[in-house]
Structure formats: C-alpha cells, structure tokens
A and B are shown apart, each in its own frame.
Chain A
Amino acid sequence: GESVGLHLPTLSVQEGDNSIINCAYSNSASDYFIWYKQESGKGPQFIIDIRSNMDKRQGQRVTVLLNKTVKHLSLQIAATQPGDSAVYFCAETVLLTGGGNKLTFGTGTQLKVEL
C-alpha cells in the first residue's frame, strides 16, 4: 500500500530541548521524502527533504534520518523554540510512469513547546 503513518499524535517538549518526530511508511518504491510544518491557519511549509539514496540530511536546526530497512523516517529539531509549535507531516513521493508524482502524507504530529 501507500500508507504513511506517524507514531505519536502529540509531542510536548520544553523550550531548548531537542525534539524527535517519527514517521513510518510502507511503500518501498518511495524515492523522496519531505517534512512539512503546518501552523494554524496556514498551508504546509517545506522544512527539509531527503532522497532514498541518503540516510541523513541536515538543515538549519533540523536533521532528517531515513532508515529504509525498517521504512522509518524521523525529524530532529535542535534547541526547540516556541515558534516550532505546529503540526509536522512527513510525506513520501512515488514517481509515476507518466512523469508525475504524488505526495502521500502521514496523519501529522502536533508539537507543543512548553516555556
């Protein structure tokens, strides 16, 4: 199938701590993964992506890890800030023969940063 699921619906962390958001996917043909952040009343905002031929990618305060063996994806946020409070979605992309692609999203994890 093409299901993408998140392990935890809500994650609460203290300001300054590191956050880890997990995601499981089931489609072994997925070749590209993206993490999005969605704040209330806004559309999803691109955070970081990773191709299936990589197992780690770092951005500014964020790191994405990909474990293809167990079909697991995680997003690590360093020194979590109040502005990081949002819903985080992982998404997988499968390239189609027609040249198009489709994003399949996980259910989302609500990250709450406590002061």
Chain B
Amino acid sequence: KAGVTQTPRYLIKTRGQQVTLSCSPISGHRSVSWYQQTPGQGLQFLFEYFSETQRNKGNFPGRFSGRQFSNSRSEMNVSTLELGDSALYLCASSSGTGSKKTQYFGPGTRLLVL
C-alpha cells in the first residue's frame, strides 16, 4: 500500500497570504488528522476529519481550517498567514474505527512565512 502523501513538500509565502495544503491518506483509511510541528512547540494537534466531518479540533485560531472529500483526501487552509505559522505541517491517517487507531504520518509540508 502507498503511504500518506502530502503536497506540496515545500512552500514559501508572505504575511497576509493564505495557503492550502493537501493530504492523501493510505487507501482505505477514513480518518485524517493534521498536526503542526515547530521547534518551540513540538507536535501540536490541529484537527481530525472522518467521513468528511470534522470530528475533533485542537486549540488553534479560526485562521486554520480544513475539509475532507468523499475519497478521504483532505486539505488544510491557513488564512492571513503570520510569521509564527512557519512550521512543518503533518498529516496522519488511520482507519478511524476501533479502539486502536494508529496514525500513520506523511512526510509533511514545510511552510515558510516571510
């Protein structure tokens, strides 16, 4: 099975712009979670989507949003970018059901905000 894929791998934006990141989960996985990774804050949970619905949300401002499509692919959008949004954005997929929900990560999208 192919792993989780994320596009683009690298992105440079300026403050005030918006950005959309894409994630394709492992085939058959219905849950997609997004995380932000920075040196200072580590890995922080953004939100989880399951069957096109946001099922769980972390403590990020409303500028961070996402959606999931019927094929389980997910996008994450960040509007009005700030310098502090520079980070590695990771997507993880899981089956989303059952008590054991191991999440498998993609390679990430590295976003630099100038």
Interface residues of A (CB under 8 A from B): 31-32, 34, 36, 41-46, 49, 51, 89, 91, 93, 95-96, 98-108
The yes or no answer to B65 lying at the interface (CB within 8 A) is: no
Q: Chain B residues with Cβ under 8 A from A96's Cβ?
A: 55-56
A109 to chain B, nearest CB (A): 12
Contacts A32-B100, A43-B90, A95-B99; A103 near B45 (Cβ below 8 A)? yes
Q: In the complex the two chains form, is B42's CB within 8 Å of A103's CB?
A: no
The yes or no answer to B66 lying at the interface (CB within 8 A) is: no
Q: In the complex the two chains form, is B105's CB within 8 Å of A100's CB?
A: no
A-B interface, 4 closest residue pairs, ranked by CB to CB distance from nearest:
A43-B105, A100-B55, A100-B56, A105-B43
Q: Which of B4, B42, B90 has the most CB of A within 10 A?
A: B42
Q: Chain B residues with Cβ under 8 A from A46's Cβ?
A: 102-105
Interface of B is mostly: strand
Q: In the complex the two chains form, is B48's CB within 8 Å of A100's CB?
A: yes
Q: In the complex the two chains form, is B102's CB within 8 Å of A34's CB?
A: yes
The yes or no answer to B25 lying at the interface (CB within 8 A) is: no
- In the docked arrangement, what's the CA distance between A32 and B102, Å? 9
- In the docked arrangement, what's the CA distance between A1 and B106, Å? 28
B73 to chain A, nearest CB (A): 17
Q: Chain A residues with Cβ under 8 A from B55's Cβ?
A: 96, 98-100
Q: In the complex the two chains form, is B90's CB within 8 Å of A103's CB?
A: no
A-B contacts, 19 of them at CB < 8 A, read A31-B99, A32-B100, A32-B101, A34-B103, A36-B105, A43-B4, A43-B106, A43-B108, A46-B104, A89-B43, A91-B43, A98-B56, A99-B50, A100-B96, A101-B48, A103-B35, A103-B103, A105-B42, A107-B42
